[in-house]
Amino acid sequence: MLTINTRQENDVVIVELKGQIDGGPKSQELQELVKNTLTEGKINFIFDITEVKWINSLGAGVLIASYASVRRNEGYINLVGITDRVKVVLRTCGLTPTVFKEFNNVEDAIEDFK
């Protein structure tokens, strides 16, 4: 199960994710959230995945689809708090460090957008 919470700091949308990103219905909600937020003109995101315990290839696909939507709007997604278990999947899929930038905390990820 995945829970999604959002907040905004300056012009950056911070998406806090907890649980599993597995490509299921809750993971698809993340993709819809990104699309809806983009229509509001907000283009820079931080995905705080400190509390994500597991991700599979379908979940990685959700991240890729979200990234593609954001890049089409000239924005970026920074990732915060990647656990070792999640890092293995993201690196195997070639998503870090080539696609997503990794940060240890939200403050550093926000600073990257300035």
Q: How far apart are CA 34 and CA 64, in angstroms?
A: 12
Series of mean pLDDT values for 10-residue runs along the chain (114 residues): 94 96 91 96 97 93 95 97 93 89 96 92
Six-digit token pair at 2?
Answer: 């995945």
Contact between 23 and 59 under an 8 Å Cβ cutoff? The reply is yes
| pLDDT at residue number 62 | 94
Q: What are phi and psi of 24, to 5 degrees?
A: -75, -170
Q: What is the CATH number of domain 2-112?
A: 3.30.750.24
Q: How far apart are CA 22 and CA 25, in angstroms?
A: 9
